[in-house]
Amino acid sequence: MWLLHWLPLPLLGRIGKGIGSLLFVFMRKRRHITLTNLQLCLPNLTQAERLHLARSHFQYFARSVLERSILWWATPARLSRLIQVVSPVPIQQMMNRPTIFLCPHFVCLEVAGVAITMQAPACSIYTKQRNKIFDAALRKGRLRFTPDENNLLSREAGVKPIIRAMKSGRAFLMLPDMDFGVRDSIFTSFFGVSAATLTSPARLTTATDGQIIPVVTRFLPSYQGWQVIFYPPWENYPGTDLNAATRRMNAFIEERVLESPAEYFWSHKRFKTRPEGEKNVYAID
């Protein structure tokens, strides 16, 4: 990974795209999950269109993994050239009020963390990786610009450390759209499919009197880098209806996915947890 960061991004990106094409052929289980998600969420597509979209997703995902080498080791000057921030990082808003940066699972989401922490402290949830060498590299990469171990919070520790961090002036970078089971989740629609969805964005906002600022990351065309888009803070969020607030979040993510569908993290089992009585959607007949 360290050696890769010396390569020009267009070359590195094309290598990643080639590896992604191979992974699409050989990673049959993840291909099945991806195609199942696409069939559930985008049923109007033809089978050929879903296959093309799934292959593109694998290519984008492989690119994002290799391009992390640049995020972890390239100079700040190079990163500033490659990361296009559509609107300035909202530092003043972060200072005025506890902030959650809501970052949906687009494959190059790591770029959002770099864009933010190059200018201000932020924290996020961290899951220990099985491979010790990769775990150490990942931790060092995410703490590169804010080298405080307290900025990587354990999921098992619950919400109290997050609340303390937010009230101390550190923004919380949150990935809201993964299936972590029924705990702290409710079932609400995601592309018309019932999905176990975290309620923690709404609950943390209430507990801290904070604000939600969505941030979305995408690839720039022609292997020129990445784009980071900060959206205005959500007004009147979460309100008094937890279900409505959670559905509002999913609706926002749906809109962003439709803008760049191949870059969304379709290879995750988004619908792994089912309402009582519903079958496993990923079972192979």
Q: Mean of the pLDDT values across residues 122-135?
A: 88
Q: Mean of the pLDDT values across residues 71-80?
A: 96
**Structure confidence at residue 128 (pLDDT):** 84
**pLDDT over threshold 70, residue 15:** yes
Q: Mean of the pLDDT values across residues 157-172?
A: 89
**Structure confidence at residue 203 (pLDDT):** 94
The total number of residues shown for the chain amounts to 285
**Structure confidence at residue 217 (pLDDT):** 96
The residue among 116, 79, 74, 76 whose CA lies nearest residue 229 is 116
**pLDDT over threshold 90, residue 250:** yes
**Structure confidence at residue 154 (pLDDT):** 83
**Structure confidence at residue 159 (pLDDT):** 85
pLDDT tens readout for residues 165-220: 899 889 999 999 999 898 889 999 999 999 999 999 999 999 999 999 999 999 99
Q: Mean of the pLDDT values across residues 132-153?
A: 87
**Structure confidence at residue 134 (pLDDT):** 86
Whole-number Å distance between alpha carbons of 100 and 166: 8
Q: What single letter denotes the amino acid at residue 46?
A: T
CA of 84: how far to CAs of 3, 63, 120, 228, in Å?
24, 18, 17, 6
**pLDDT over threshold 80, residue 156:** no
Contact 263, 219 (CB under 8 A): yes
**Structure confidence at residue 129 (pLDDT):** 85
**Structure confidence at residue 172 (pLDDT):** 95
Q: What single letter denotes the amino acid at residue 89?
A: V
pLDDT tens readout for residues 90-101: 998 988 999 999
**pTM for the model:** 0.94
Q: Is the dihedral of CA 149, 233, 244, 254 positive or negative?
A: negative
Whole-number Å distance between alpha carbons of 151 and 122: 7
What are the structural domain ranges in the chain? 84-263
**Structure confidence at residue 225 (pLDDT):** 97
**Structure confidence at residue 285 (pLDDT):** 67
Q: Mean of the pLDDT values across residues 245-255?
A: 97
* Whole-number average pLDDT of the chain: 94
